[in-house]
Amino acid sequence: MNGLARRVMRRPAAVASTTWLGLVLVTAVGAPLFAPHGPLDQDLNHVLSDPSSGHLLGTDELGRDILSRLLYGGQSTLLGVVEALLVYLVLGVTFGLAAGYLGGWVDWVVTRTAELMFALPGIIIVLVVLSVFPSNLSAAMITFGVLGSPGLVRLLRAQTLSVREELYVAAARVSGLSRPQILRRHVLPRMISMVIVQAALFAAIVVTIQAGLGFLGFGVQPPNPSWGGLVADASNVIDTDPWMLVPAGVPLVLTVIALGLLGDAIRDAAIENWSLSKMAAPAAGVTARPAAAPDTDTDAGVPASDGAALLSVRGLSVEIGGTPVVQNVSFDLMPGQTLGVVGESGCGKSVTALGILGLVPGGGRISGGQCLFEGKDLATLSPAELAAVRGSGIAFVSQEPMVALDPTFTVSAQLAEAVRRHRRIPRRAARARVLELLDLVNIPDPAAVARRYPHQLSGGMAQRVAIALALAGDPRLLIADEPTTALDVTVQAEILALLRTLQDETGMSVLIVTHDWGVVADLCQRAVVMYAGQVVEHADVNAMFGQPYHPYTQGLLAANPHLAVEGEPLPTIPGTVPAPSDWPSGCRFSQRCPYATEECSAGPVALTRLQADRLSRCLHTDQLVLEGGRR
């Protein structure tokens, strides 16, 4: 809680709001001390006068000091807010928590009641109450608190339900904590900031409504002052003294705005603690960058771009938010070939693939290198030119099939749009083509599936549809970002078989990003291994599996449970991957490498060509080969 308060106070808006609200609170409570005049003191010689030393905000039509009336009026505002807020919080928290955590019939009753109350037009009911208990502001405020509580109930219930499903609550239950203990230790702390935010916003509404009621003549009766009443007074003399509207209304406006700002500040401060860094801007496309020569200094071993290659990447570097994530990546992909980009999380493999397409997430950008696709450098194309290449030249399949399709359109609608984007054909022809595509990806009963919505498909089928979408433009290169990771192993096998068949039939190349060596063994002819943003090995797959040329590759292959020996511990790579901010200037793998020497950390290690088709970023490959296998 202290941490939250500190974070909130770091925001200028919160400081300003708290100052103003504090001022209002102090002066209202201490009105007898601070007010220069009594609230009912009349001075008929100075009616409707302008601000002066005696009356800082002027006087009203009976010569009463406006400032004093404001201060005393604040008391009824304060009282009203406290009453409404208390009722709101007590009812909202109790029923929201009960409904969310206890579930069952308690939840049912609370939800139905809340729904009913939501539909009640609040102000009308308050007016009815006022007609029954005239000028009883407390009754009105309590009613308003009751009518407002369903909002809090609904929010708290939703929050409790979601927290209840969190694994750490399950872990607490397994540890034997009782329900009240779990509520107190795990559920409530998450709620507190939300409750405070809602309280601030509700208070803002209460102040407005109360002023409104005062304006209409309900609540505090004249001659006693209230903020709403002051506005009513001002409206009465609007012809002779329109300026009275200002002191009557501005404190009201400022208070409500202050409460709103405070609520927002608390909300932002609460999330920032445990949310990941926010994406700076939507990935609306890449910014074209003038062509620069690829940095060949550190990678002397990399051959020049192969003219026959479909895709030739040289020295590709990508930054996200100013931090380099991918550095100096180079490889060639021939027509009809499958290349695997392999590595663990954080190595930069996905970013590389997205970088080729010009769609780096999180507002990132290509900071160097070139991606020659059929001779054109993708990194230098304008957004329009790039859009022309996407879909028809290069297509994309992503990892999570269930979120890869627009949930609000049918399969047929989306596929038809893809088809018509690349071919100018009438609707009927497009629909026929859609069925052809679905058939191409081995979907049984294409007509029925075409009519469905994405949420009605299983994971495997959704991925097939996503592949069909990618194929709509007859691409020459398909980039697949971990296409089978989210699927069951039997479904995975079918998708891999499908990709192989498609490749045989259409002759397209595939760039597949994966962490699964089995997938590499199944699908790829060549592979690129990435570690900490760099390429560490590049070779033919058979050769690489037979004898890796980099200690990381060797370590990964050995750590595979498939090769485990019963009774012996699995060979592991000690330590963890360094984060981009911790990348050493020497070999990034040296701290975890069994072959490391001082030389390795002395300076950057270049990617060297060891044989016709094999590259490795290691100074000790010969030693590795000599020792042949596990260490």
Partner 1 sequence: MTTLDVRDLTVEFRQGRSRPPLRAVDAVSLQIGAGETLGLVGESGSGKSTLGRAILGLTPAASGSVHYEGKDITRAGLRERRALSATMQAVFQDPYSSLNPTRTIGQTLAEPLLVHRRLERAETVEQVRTMLDRVGMPGDTAERYPSQFSGGQRQRIAIARALMLSPHLVICDEPVSALDLSIQAQVMNLLADLQRELGLSYLFIAHDLAVVRHLSHRIVVLYRGQVMETGPAARVYSRPGHPYTEALLAAAPVPDPEQQRARRTARTATTLAPPNTGGCPFAHRCPHTVDRCRTERPALRPTGDSGSAVACHRFAELHPSPAETSNGKVPLV
Partner 2 sequence: MAVFRMVLRRLLSSIPLLFAVSALTFVLVSLVPGDPARTIAGEHATVAQYTAVRLQMGLNQSLPLQYWHWLVQAVHGNLGSSLFSGEPVTQLLSNRLPVSLSLIISGTAVSGVLGVALGLFSARRGGFMVKAVDGLSLFGLGVPPFWLALVLVEVFAVKLRWFPAIGYVSPATDPAQWARSLVLPVVSLSLGASAIIAKQTRDSVLDTFNKDFIRVMQANGFSQRSILYRHVLKNAAIPVVTILGVVFVSLLAATVFVETVFAMPGLGLLIQQATLQHDIPVIQGAVLYITLLVVLANLLVDLAYGLLDPRVRAA
Residues 322-361 contacting partner 1, CB under 8 A: 344-345
Q: Is 276 in the site for partner 2 (CB under 8 A)?
A: no
Cα–Cα nearest to 65, from 44, 39, 27: 39
Q: DSSP 3-state assignment of 325?
A: strand
- Contact residue for partner 2 among 404, 411, 487, 511 (CB under 8 A): 404
Q: How many residues does the chain have?
A: 631
C-beta of 155 vs 182, nearer to partner 2: 155
Query: For residues 471 and 454, what is the distance between their CA atoms, to the nearest angstrom?
Result: 18
- Contact residue for partner 1 among 104, 121, 561, 628 (CB under 8 A): 561
Structure tokens at 249: 């209304």
C-beta of 148 vs 551, nearer to partner 1: 551
Find which of partner 2, partner 1, none residue 407 binds, CB within 5 to 8 Å per kind: partner 2
- Contact residue for partner 1 among 205, 573, 587, 596 (CB under 8 A): 573
Find which of partner 1, partner 2, none residue 130 binds, CB within 5 to 8 Å per kind: partner 2
Instruction: Provide the 10 A C-beta neighbour count for residue 571.
Output: 16
Q: Which long-range contacts (CB under 8 A, 24 or more apart) does 537-546 make?
A: 537/614, 537/615, 537/616, 537/617, 538/330, 538/331, 538/607, 538/614, 538/615, 538/616, 539/613, 539/614, 539/615, 539/616, 540/613, 540/614, 541/340, 543/613, 543/614, 545/517, 545/521
Q: Is 452 in the site for partner 1 (CB under 8 A)?
A: no
Q: Is 162 in the site for partner 1 (CB under 8 A)?
A: no
Q: Is 425 in the site for partner 2 (CB under 8 A)?
A: no
Q: State the DSSP H helix or E strand holding residue 506, giving kind and residue range, or none if neither.
A: helix 489-506
Stretch that binds partner 2, among 82-90, 331-339, 395-403, 617-625 (CB under 8 A): 395-403
Q: DSSP 3-state assignment of 563?
A: helix
Mutual angle of helices 411-422 and 459-471, in 10-degree steps: 20
Cα–Cα nearest to 418, from 380, 465, 453, 373: 465
Least Å from the CB of residue 483 to partner 1: 13
Find which of partner 2, partner 1, none residue 559 binds, CB within 5 to 8 Å per kind: partner 1
- Contact residue for partner 2 among 89, 443, 470, 541 (CB under 8 A): 470
- Contact residue for partner 2 among 4, 78, 288, 359 (CB under 8 A): 359
Least Å from the CB of residue 69 to partner 2: 16
Strand order in the sheet with 365-373: 323-333, 311-320, 365-373, 376-377
C-beta of 118 vs 168, nearer to partner 1: 168
The answer to whether 340 and 526 have CB atoms below 8 angstroms apart is yes
Distances (CA, A) of 88 to 58, 203, 242, 559: 37, 10, 37, 58
Query: For residues 460 and 158, what is the distance between their CA atoms, to the nearest angstrom?
Result: 31
Q: DSSP 3-state assignment of 479?
A: strand
Strand order in the sheet with 509-514: 394-397, 477-481, 509-514, 338-342, 526-531, 534-540, 614-616, 608-611
Query: For residues 417 and 425, what is the distance between their CA atoms, to the nearest angstrom?
Result: 11
Q: Is 346 in the site for partner 2 (CB under 8 A)?
A: no
Query: For residues 218 and 31, what is the distance between their CA atoms, to the nearest angstrom?
Result: 23
- Contact residue for partner 2 among 32, 222, 303, 361 (CB under 8 A): 361
Find which of partner 1, partner 2, none residue 91 binds, CB within 5 to 8 Å per kind: none
Least Å from the CB of residue 147 to partner 2: 11
- Contact residue for partner 2 among 254, 435, 496, 521 (CB under 8 A): 254
Least Å from the CB of residue 611 to partner 1: 18
Cα–Cα nearest to 446, from 436, 456, 460, 459: 436
The answer to whether 370 and 332 have CB atoms below 8 angstroms apart is no
C-beta of 90 vs 279, nearer to partner 1: 279
C-beta of 181 vs 323, nearer to partner 1: 181
C-beta of 375 vs 569, nearer to partner 1: 569
Find which of partner 2, partner 1, none residue 108 binds, CB within 5 to 8 Å per kind: none
- Contact residue for partner 2 among 4, 56, 79, 256 (CB under 8 A): 256
Stretch that binds partner 1, among 5-13, 291-299, 300-308, 512-520 (CB under 8 A): 512-520
Q: Is 421 in the site for partner 1 (CB under 8 A)?
A: no
Find which of partner 1, partner 2, none residue 585 binds, CB within 5 to 8 Å per kind: none
Mutual angle of helices 188-216 and 137-164, in 10-degree steps: 160
Query: For residues 615 and 478, what is the distance between their CA atoms, to the nearest angstrom?
Result: 24
Residue whose entry in the numeric block shows the structure tokens 């590759």: 553
C-beta of 143 vs 616, nearer to partner 2: 143
Stretch that binds partner 2, among 81-89, 382-390, 506-514, 586-594 (CB under 8 A): 382-390
Stretch that binds partner 2, among 80-88, 240-248, 547-555, 566-574 (CB under 8 A): 240-248
Find which of partner 2, partner 1, none residue 129 binds, CB within 5 to 8 Å per kind: partner 2
Q: Is 116 in the site for partner 2 (CB under 8 A)?
A: yes
Structure tokens at 78: 């304060």
- Contact residue for partner 2 among 150, 343, 473, 483 (CB under 8 A): 473
Judged by the rule CB under 8 A, the positions of this chain that interact with partner 1 are 166-168, 170-179, 181, 185-186, 189-190, 273-274, 344-345, 444, 458-461, 488-494, 496-497, 515-522, 541-542, 545, 555-557, 559-564, 566, 569-574, 576
